[in-house]
Structure 1
């Protein structure tokens, strides 16, 4: 890996995390297309590399949220209890069931599109009455499901569940630290799972360690800055920005997958 690639990864991790940390969405969601298209990380190695990014970058935002007293309450523990077993299942599915890049793009689009539309809808309708909070069992079940999808996609799971909870009216001051804590823990488990699978399976399954560490170092700084700025940033603008970006990326992946199928 050359210096330019490492610097690009570092800056990408920093900028993306600074924007996503205030709303509890892992920067890995938006780092993935950068790794595929700009840094040329092969599939499926891009998924564990994304998980490695989460492991390195996560403590930045979490340290700030803890300093703000926002890491209290049962929500983080509930999310972790569901997403941890889910991410292991997702890693196994990713390696043995959908290793091809076209299928991977379709899966990524399926994750990003509803995430983006949900964020946009909530941002454009700020006066929408809040729905009743989800019961604990529902949150646990959704955590297991999103953890599985997150293990396939390389984002840990909390980043998908966070917008769902936001749509139910849970304040971002509660969601952001809980979702990032869940993503951090499940990313450790997911990265370890991919490491074990790499010992018994051929192909590019192990993470690109140096690149993942450099991206994560940028995310560590960016996540801390983003969490520090959260009280000063308009929530509506951030959700609309993230929703638009996620939707655009989903459309791009769908176009790429369709082109590969007809090409």
Structure 2
């Protein structure tokens, strides 16, 4: 690898870390960069997953207050995303390649729609509850069984494919809880970190990463993840919501 290529990989890691901690689409930048530099897709995927683990760590450190405020939900996210990532990696190894290629872009677009209309859905749920029970719906600070199931499914998707998994987690937590979006963003970053760690450990066993590339990505993503968290914490809710929607649409179009 030349000095210029090393600088490009380092910059891609920095940008991917920022994207991971803000809108949750880190691989849209880093993975194509590695492929463009001549790495085979599988090697690029493995190296990319390992290189983004420090970015997740940096992001979680940046969101440490939000993760702490989430309380028990943060622990649930760690468990369900770890289990989901294991199942997703098993699907990746056991199913023929390309099984979900046709539906993934539409799945991401659907979750973008959910993120965009989440405030309306939340209001509708509250009005429906008040009409049925004659009392206001209490603030949802815990994950219901249905929300836990959907979070696990998102973890499976993250372990299998990953592109847009952050957008999906924002949709699941935004609709299934009443947490502030800054806390949802912190939990989304936590979920991506857990998924990358689990998938990375599995990939190390079944594939051969380019450790020099992974190391450069890791250095860049560590800084980028922390910087992205500082940016994400200050984004107004509306700006964050529509930034996630825009990032998800770009991801879906690129996959199409």
TM-score of the two chains, using structure 1 as the length reference: 0.75
Using the alignment, how far apart are the partners of 1:93 and 1:27 within structure 2?
Answer: 22
Choose the corresponding residue for 1:248, options 205, 228, 250: 250
Using the alignment, how far apart are the partners of 1:33 and 1:110 within structure 2?
Answer: 21
Asked whether the equivalents of residues 157 and 186 of structure 1 are also in contact (C-alpha less than 8 Å), the reply is no
Using the alignment, how far apart are the partners of 1:114 and 1:50 within structure 2?
Answer: 26
Choose the corresponding residue for 1:144, options 141, 146, 152: 152
1:147-166 residue CA offsets vs partner (Å, 9 max, x unmatched): 11111114695653223212
Q: What SS does structure 1 have at the residue aligned with 2:52?
A: helix
Q: What SS does structure 1 have at the residue aligned with 2:208?
A: coil
1:10-62 residue CA offsets vs partner (Å, 9 max, x unmatched): 21232243244145x252355334444x3444333343333213312112121
Cα root mean square deviation, aligned: 3.1
| Aligned CA distance change for structure 1 residues 235 and 209 (closer, same or farther; 3 Å) | farther
1:121-162 residue CA offsets vs partner (Å, 9 max, x unmatched): 45xx78973746474322321222111111111469565322
Asked whether the equivalents of residues 17 and 219 of structure 1 are also in contact (C-alpha less than 8 Å), the reply is yes
Q: Number of aligned pairs?
A: 240
Using the alignment, how far apart are the partners of 2:29 and 2:100 within structure 1?
Answer: 15
Using the alignment, how far apart are the partners of 1:69 and 1:246 within structure 2?
Answer: 23
For structure 1, the 5+ residue unaligned runs are: 199-204, 255-263
Using the alignment, how far apart are the partners of 2:225 and 2:218 within structure 1?
Answer: 10
Alpha-carbon deviation of 1:107?
5.8
| Aligned CA distance change for structure 1 residues 20 and 84 (closer, same or farther; 3 Å) | closer
TM-score of the two chains, using structure 2 as the length reference: 0.77
Question: Which structure would you say has the larger Rg?
Answer: 2
Asked whether the equivalents of residues 126 and 236 of structure 1 are also in contact (C-alpha less than 8 Å), the reply is no
For structure 2, the 5+ residue unaligned runs are: 127-139
Choose the corresponding residue for 1:59, options 29, 52, 57: 57
Using the alignment, how far apart are the partners of 2:175 and 2:28 within structure 1?
Answer: 19
